[in-house]
Amino acid sequence: MNPLGHSARLAVLWNTGFTLFRDLLQFGLTLILVRLLTPQEYGQSGLVSSIIGFLMIFSFRSFLLHALQTRREEEADFQLHFTAGAFIQSSLFLITNLVAVGLRWVPTYAEIAPLLHVASVVVLLDWPSEIRVKMLERALDWKRLRLLHGIGIVISAVVALGLAFAGAGVWALVIPSLFKCWPFIFDLFVIQKWKPGWRWDSEKFTAARRFGLTCLGSGLAQYGRPLLESLLLVQLIGYAWYGIYGRAVGLAQFACLQFASVLMQAIYPVLTKIEPGTRAFGRASSLVLRCISWVIVPMGTVLAILADPVIRTIYGERWLEAAPLLPWTMAAVGTGAIAHVIYVLLLADQQQRRCLLADVWILLGTVTSLWWLLPIGIPAYLLGITLTQTVALVAMLYWLYQDRFRDALNALGALIQPAGATVAALVFCEWVRRWGGIETETLGPAVVYGVAFTVVYLVVVRLLFARLLRELVSYFPAKNYLTRVFLLRA
């Protein structure tokens, strides 16, 4: 029996199209912006994003997420969530601006205070925007959700380019984020003509409050890490080097984490409709993990091998200092992406407290790495983060499948299979490169190397894991075409 059903197929279809569109647009935008803006400006923007991300932990999103946890026969009361959001987001907006005022008194961070004042408007815009997002996710309306996302991304990209060419500097990285919410707000109030009832019932909100407080604890641990990292890195190495480090991390996230995050955002509402702890949930979670790991493991590996030509091509000569950091950031972000997938599966399995334990462990590991390993160097710090997330990954896998041995083996296979195929492809390509004396420092040979690696990887997967590949391909758009390309039985 199909563990995910028609809803998952629609999620994969629209998510695949949206991810491809978003990544291509983001790639093109990055190619332009990195040549117009400096590492210093990227460092300033990165710190502002970390502060906003941490403060958004206290937003109403944690409570609103409960709307997806309720089963199909229950109705999510978005009027209650909207009223709660009015109080929470207004308070958070005020707190954010007070933080910006406080930063003016700290010499190292004073220059980002005006940026934080402007970025704080996102807190208010996120209130009605996220209500509409959760409405569409609960309705499994992937088409409308992704179309609105796409419109917001296009608008923000146009604004970013306009400001960058006008010489606005770091503002070209801060102001565009204010425009991503407007399509959802317009759709909610103008197209759908949804009207707030300003109704409140503390008793009915109890379940959402308990769920949100649990998620809040996880958020403090989860988003406290990048904030601590940003503050300490700026203090130790300055905005310019933090900007270079941020570009290496950004490329790793672009290649690994964004794909996993967007796909899990689409699949999560479907997973919550499956009864936790059942055989169906185990099959579905193993399938999702396989889909992510079969992409992330080879992609992260080949980009790490080709770090120098990749950085030179995408960012330009001024960012070459990020090349030695790229293999380390790929390892840290890649393990983090897979851990994120298992984390979301654990959350869908209604094991929120264990998610909190994983977040606390990662936070403690990060603090330890910042304290003991960062003074040695950024690669040592990233190695500590990779080891920390690997331990969390293994623990969450055990919690997810502790009573389902067969599902646990399937999940472990989903991680081991792409690793084996990646090693095989890497050994073959390195043998050919050294036998032929080929240098991959320039774009042409690097592209040939990447294409050869991809082909060999897919051939190995097809030869060794045909049945699993056929099941995975059945969820993708143009599945009949892909079935013929991989010579799979229909």
Tell me the pLDDT of the chain averaged across its residues.
85
pLDDT at 7 over 60: no
pTM: 0.74
Grade residue 395 by pLDDT with cuts at 50, 70 and 90. very high
Of 265 and 45, more confident: 45
Domain presence at residue 176: yes
Taking residues 306-332, report their average pLDDT.
90
In whole angstroms, what is the distance from residue 112 CA to residue 172 CA?
Answer: 14
pLDDT at 8 over 60: no
Domain presence at residue 424: no
Grade residue 1 by pLDDT with cuts at 50, 70 and 90. very low
Domain presence at residue 13: yes
pLDDT at 3 over 70: no
Domain presence at residue 292: no
Highest mean pLDDT: which range of 140-144, 300-304, 317-321? 300-304
Please report where in the chains the tokens 């070459």 appear, as a residue. 320
Domain presence at residue 203: yes
Structure tokens belonging to residue 177: 């984020």
Q: What is the pLDDT of residue 96?
A: 95
Residues 6+ apart with CB under 8 A from 14: 142, 143, 145, 146, 266
Domain presence at residue 136: yes
pLDDT tens-digit map of 79-117: 888 898 899 999 999 999 999 999 999 888 999 999 999
pLDDT tens-digit map of 226-240: 788 888 888 888 888
| Lowest mean pLDDT segment, chosen from 93-107, 207-221, 413-427, 456-470 | 207-221
> Which residues constitute the domain of residue 141?
1-245
Closest CA to 28 of 217, 214, 158: 158
Domain presence at residue 445: no
Q: What is the pLDDT of residue 19?
A: 66
Number of domains in the chain: 1
Q: What is the pLDDT of residue 253?
A: 87
Domain presence at residue 258: no
